[in-house]
Chain A
Amino acid sequence: MNYREFLTRLRLNRDDLRLAITCFAGGVLLAIMTGPEGSLQDPLYSVKHALFSSHVWGFLIFGIALGAVSIYRRKLRDGLLTTRRETPRRSIRKSVADYVAGTGMVARVVTFVVALVAALLVADYTGPYVPNKLSFHRIINQFGHTRTYGYILVVFWLLNALRVNARPRNDTVRLPAWMRSAPAKIAGGALGGLFFALCADPWLPLSFRFKFLTFSGNTNHAFFHHWTTYLWTFAGLVVGLRAANLERRAATVATTRRRPARKVTVSTNTRLALYAGGMFVAIEVPKWLSPFWQETIFQQIGIFCLLAIGLNVVVGFAGLLDLGYVAFYALGAYTNAYFTNALPIHPPFVLNAFYSIPFAILVAMLSGVLLGLPTLRLRGDYLAIVTLGFGEIIYVLASNLTNITDGAGGTGATGSFSVNVPGLHFALNGQALGDDLNFYYLLLAFLVPILFLFNSLNHSKVGRSWAAIREDEVAANSLGINSLKYKVMAFAIGASTSGVAGVLSSAKLGSLFPSDFAVQLSITVLILVIFGGMGSISGVLIGAAFIGWLLQYLIFHSFIDYQDADKYMYLGAILILTMIFRPQGMLPSRRRQREFHDADEGLGTADAMGAASEGPLS
């Protein structure tokens, strides 16, 4: 019996076998990846460990299971197996759908109860960090804190907004005209933000207690209470603005077009609810975390988000590949070090780190323009390698120009942040233990306006020009779009964002080491953008937060043999897998997704690389 007969007897064909072998090999590879570190003297150590130790066998089993499942699915698809279509899950799904679409009292009560329980749990967590939480007594006690009521409102609103979105559109309740007007929405948003700030964090200097109601909050950190109050008010204002804007846009669409040009998948309400939820997570969640995660959320997640948002302009909006992105980050950081007098060369005037931000932006932007002007004329893949070289040059210079940058040993201490203008007084000291949150809120105060700026930029003439260049550069040029100008613009905007991140990060770290600006960081930021979905701001933020969290999580919960140096293995794998299976990213922007889809069918290029249609890429 040869192997072909053997396979036929097993009802497998060669493709199945190949799939199973691939999966098994993947399992072994995974086992090696997660095994212990080898050495040149015993290069097969991790392989041996992978194959003959108990805890990594799990990955082999994983590989085999993956193969089996793939074979099963393939057979199912080919109609080789018959399955019962009726599954009991369907009725559950149906009842959930009924609930979601329901407008009656029952649905509302269910929503309210869910909101109540969720808000109580959240309120329990929002107390200052203590190791043991989640006791029944503590949870019930949360009724005595004002923030609980704020949370109930938010969760209730969120759930209802999500439900309204799932309903058929024609039975939505119309609000009276004055409530739908723009000033009412903006004022309502701002007041709501202020109310929520009051619920969550009192900044008023009075210990204001009712008999059974405590204005809750963590009063020993006076600074960020008042800081988050600003943020919440700003957040409410932004949500109100968005509401007014969306309403206006919906009205224009309704009057100018007979039917909507594209299917609206996310309704206004849901979108606002998601904004509010995102703001809530970004502002409130960090306070509940342990000091370690508070440091992470600034140093890993916050800075990553800022960097990723900047790179998103270059990769996502303009469709260019910048691999030397971290060079601008380094330039921003060293500019800060220069103006705070931390380098061997002395500035004409010493500045506070806060005031060196404009200089950092200027330096990063100028170097972006200087690098971009000559190289952006070239084909896109040349740009990638030139920027890679630029990043390497900055790294080499930073580590070797000892009399300017202090070399690989690191600079002296950069100054701390302090601002003294009417209405805003604060001083931050990066080295102090509890200051991570303060830096985080400072970063958020930069990040949120930048987000809205970039979002509106993407929907402006500039953004449309970028889209045109991405989709077909030749056609864009022929329509009078100066593609070089817009590419340089994207490059400079990305660079200056990176410069801001450099200042904030260096002010927190205290002193700079060239190894913080190695090329690997550029690749990491690229992965953040790609994984989340290039061109989609929310996708990039969520991707950055997820990967920043994952990298920290792996260090401390090592169910596998993970070291910090291994992270590029996982990140590289994520990069390849994303490109193969979902090039538009996890939460893609709709336009980018369509571009990738069109490019698959030979329409347009989906990047600004130029000349993609030649060669055997088809």
Chain B
Amino acid sequence: MAEFSTSVKTAGEVNIIYLKGYLDAHTAPVLENTFSNLIDKGDYSLVVNFKDLNYISSAGLGVFMAFIEKIRDNKGDIKLSSMSDKVFNIFDLLGFPLLYEIFKTEDEAINKFKEIKKLEDQ
């Protein structure tokens, strides 16, 4: 059976979700739960780090679509980081870069949230 897990780290007002393993139709509910738990707590500034993700199918991509509108309605966002070329190619093929900001590193994604916060505080 495919192994997939998520872990969450908090960095100030941003939460980082780390994906590990194989994200397919069988394991997608694990990621759905992770998003649901964060949203229930009112955490809407999310970075998803793909560094340890080996595989993604459209069922996994669908999870991002399921939560993005609610998150943006609450002034948050899902920013993606650290994808392998292989995973990025699948996102790209389906046109996801039009809807999501994808960063090379986790820090760049976190900094984007900080910049927005700074502008709002001014």
Do chains A and B stick together as partners? no
Chain A residues within 8 Å of B, Cβ to Cβ: none
